A and B are shown apart, each in its own frame.
Chain A
Amino acid sequence: MTSATTKPVSRRAVLGGLGAVAGSGAVTGFPTIWAQNIKDVVLHHAGPPVTAIPAIAEQATKDLGFTVQMQASENADLLNRFLSQSSAIDCADIALTNQRYLIGRNVLQGIPVGKFKYWDQTLSLFTKGEYPDGRKIIQQGITPSMVLYATDATGQKVTKGGAASDFVTGIPTVTNGDTLGIRPDLVGRKVDSWADVLSPEFKGRAAIQDNPTIGIIDIAMAIEARGDLKYGDKGNMTKAEIDKTVDAMLETKRSGQFRSFWTSFDQSVNLMASGEVVIQSMWSPAVAAVRSRGIPCTFQPLKEGYRGWGYTLGVMKHVDGLKLDCFYEYMNWYCAGFPGSFIAREGYYSAQPDTARKYLTPAEAAYWFDGKPAATDILSPFGKVMEKAGNVRDGGTLWQRLGNIAVWNSVMDEDRYLTRRWNEFITS
């Protein structure tokens, strides 16, 4: 890391002459900047374990001529690193919700949209806040347009009403709609509503995530589905709504509904794989992990819709000169398909699905994106069979899933109050 920042003078001197070379090289593919100078550059990429995958960094290093290093950490640890040690990171996978903490704090810099080659191929739900058929995406929780467009190159302020501009706080990379995971062999009936996670039929066999911001939205989906309460905005509840939701949760917990509250990816996998739990809030790669052990597990589509989320690739404020050019190269590489295909096999969607498609086999693309039956056995990103030929992915096509987002992950205005009430729920 230090090697790249301690000798910027000589590098920047070279860079003056480099601009022309870089510009002219742009058409020839990777790498477009002069390989002699970039070979010492190390780009530190931080993210959550599900996207900061070492195999992606290895491939990038091979393709680009400079070194990319992945650093994975979870939730608050990751956010903490952005806020307190951002100089040790160069770029990062930033959840839309985390942008709420980062914008205006001099952690990131704006990225000129013009530097990004795949803007036209980026899902319109990010770039325009609408679906391809022109419907506007739901405005509950932190939507992409609330945090994406910056007013200027510093990237410290977002535009009014999410209006499009020439700078973004980060390049959209990954998105998905989350739902409940179930054990189809053990639930014993059709599950098609969020309300089922609170159903007494699954007493002692249900679980939710021990995370106030996500946990309460999942429960709110269930309570609303049950018809008990109509929320103004499930992603930004009023104090009264938080109270009603937490009170209902306390009651459910007292009745013995929940077997466990999970905090980490592997816990959610083990709860499901061992059969301790048959219905729970879950992530797509966790479902894939249970399935690749040969245990049936479904990421069950529910009639009320999905809880959506998204990640962007942002660049830290301190990155400049040659390293910044390298970042732009990496950013374009990142959205050119290889990483997108990798995370597609985890059940996520690349924000540029058409580029990811090129790196998937036709059978994989048909299975993961188009909701068609698997023509061959489908392998997990780590090479294990996770779906037998002939089966169809739960949730159908990309747009059947992403087109049905009911609420986005969120950081609420009343998050302080929410944390207090959540602690009350967990300690009761």
Chain B
Amino acid sequence: MSTSTLPVSLRSGTVAASGRRRSTRLPLWLVSWLQVGPLALILIVLFALPTILFLVVSFYDYDRVGIYPAFLLDNYRELLTTPATWRVYVSSLRFAFIVWAITLFLGFNIAYFLIFHIRSGITRTVLFLLCAIPFWTSGIIRTIAWIPFLGRNGAFNQILMGLGLTSHPLTFLLFSDFAVIVTYVHLFTLLMVGPIANSLSKIDPALLEAAVDAGASRWRTMVDVVIPLSKTGIVLGSILVFTQVMGDYFVVRQMSGGQSASIVSMLSTQIQAMEYPPAAANAVVLVIFVAILVAGMMRIVDVRKELVK
């Protein structure tokens, strides 16, 4: 919600709307408040208040039977001095980076294919639907479905053994980092395809022709024209994938069989033990960390400006 653009747009509308405004007698400031109101209310109730709550609780003292108002830094000190915390952040970042690279590669290529190679609008819609329809089922089901497929006696191992490619079932397929990454890629590639396809569809095909006419190779056209113009989509998709992986709990726990942990699964162990203040501290650190990451990505491209173009 940009405060600088709001008054300008209202001022430009003043002359044309002056007659109507007099009849309804709504003062300008009230109009602004009404416009901002619904979203502000949702954000305050569902985001700001809970965030403030766990920020406050993160400084509390606690024991088995309750939490006690206090201003202690112990929860943060314990969190930041435990090797487990650093390990789990490194591990989550590693997952996020690998998944980001794979989904970006897949997502960009799928989007490019859909936008520039498919000429027929109907075919494109059908292909888009093919990408999207699996996402109408729950993520939990799509995650769990991999387990019987990748298991020791699962379908994939049976195929491999049936083809004589391996004599023993491959156990690294399930309850491993491999399984986690496969599932993430499956779940999150569409988050890349959507925004990138949106950006690509705004590129005037004449620009590509002009580039070719001017003697640019396909590669140069891609690097100098297509990628810069789809930067918004790439950054948006990247933000979605990064935040999903960093905030994940379910996939890591299910697919690594509890062998790897995510930041949130660590937090969940604390909640299971009724230790709310350290869990809150954990959440605060995660929110700050992800906010810095997203802010960094936003610096690369001004998504707000690009979106209204």
Contacts and interface: CB of A to CB of B under 8 A. Distances in A.
Interface string B276-305: 000000000000000000000000000000
A423 B269 contact: yes
Contacts of B78: 420
B265 A426 contact: yes
A426 B258 contact: yes
Given A76-B274, A261-B257, A262-B258, A276 B151 contact: yes
Interface stretch (B19-27, B29-37, B48-56, B83-91): B83-91
Contacts of B270: 419, 423
Interface in A263-309: 263, 270, 274-276
A212 B269 CA distance: 8
Given A75-B272, A260-B175, A276-B152, A423 B257 contact: no
A424 interface: yes
Nearest to A413: B64
Given A76-B271, A76-B272, A258-B259, A424 B84 contact: yes
B66 interface: yes
A416 interface: yes
Contacts of B63: 416
A263 B253 contact: yes
A237 interface: no
B208 interface: no
B91 A427 contact: yes
Contacts of A276: 151-153, 174-175
Given A101-B64, A260-B259, A422-B269, A428 B87 contact: yes
Interface in B233-291: 253, 257-261, 265-266, 269-275
B258 A274 contact: no
B82 interface: yes
Interface in A80-121: 80, 83, 100-101, 104-105
Given A424-B82, A428-B87, A419 B273 contact: yes
A263 B258 contact: yes
A80 B265 CA distance: 18
A426 B269 contact: yes
B147 interface: yes
B212 to A, nearest CB: 52
A207 B174 CA distance: 14
A274 B153 CA distance: 7
Nearest to A74: B272
Contacts of A416: 63, 273, 275
Interface string A225-259: 00000000000000000000000000001000011
A263 B275 CA distance: 18
A275 B175 contact: no
B153 A100 contact: no
B84 A274 contact: no
B66 A105 contact: yes
A207 B265 CA distance: 18
A422 B270 CA distance: 10
A79 interface: yes
Contacts of B257: 207, 258-262
Interface residues of B, number: 35
A260 B256 CA distance: 7
Contact of B151 (A101, A207, A274, A420): A274
B214 interface: no
Nearest to B89: A427
A104 B66 CA distance: 11
B89 to A, nearest CB: 10
Contacts of B253: 210, 263
B69 interface: no
Nearest to A100: B64
A204 interface: yes
B198 interface: no
A80 B174 CA distance: 33
Interface in A395-428: 411, 415-416, 418-420, 422-424, 426-428
B205 interface: no
Given A75-B272, A101-B64, A427 B87 contact: yes
B66 A270 contact: no
Contacts of A76: 271-274
Contacts of A411: 64
Given A275-B153, A419-B270, A260 B258 contact: yes
**Max chain A CB contacts within 10 Å: which of B258, B266, B275?**
B258
A101 B64 CA distance: 7
A426 B78 CA distance: 17
A419 B269 contact: yes
Contacts of A415: 64, 273
Interface string A165-209: 000000000000000000000000000000000000000100100
Contacts of B274: 76, 79-80, 83, 101
Given A101-B274, A276-B151, A420 B64 contact: no
Interface string A128-171: 00000000000000000000000000000000000000000000
A124 interface: no
Contacts of A274: 148, 151-154
Interface of A: 75-76, 79-80, 83, 100-101, 104-105, 204, 207, 210-213, 253, 258-263, 270, 274-276, 411, 415-416, 418-420, 422-424, 426-428
20 contacts: A76-B274, A211-B272, A259-B171, A260-B258, A263-B258, A270-B147, A274-B152, A275-B152, A276-B174, A418-B273, A420-B78, A422-B269, A423-B261, A423-B266, A424-B84, A426-B84, A427-B87, A427-B88, A428-B84, A428-B87
6 closest residue pairs by CB, A with B: A261-B258, A260-B257, A427-B261, A424-B84, A76-B272, A419-B273
Given A104-B65, A276-B151, A424-B84, 14 more contacts: A76-B271, A76-B273, A105-B66, A207-B257, A259-B175, A270-B147, A274-B151, A423-B266, A423-B270, A424-B83, A426-B84, A426-B266, A427-B87, A427-B266
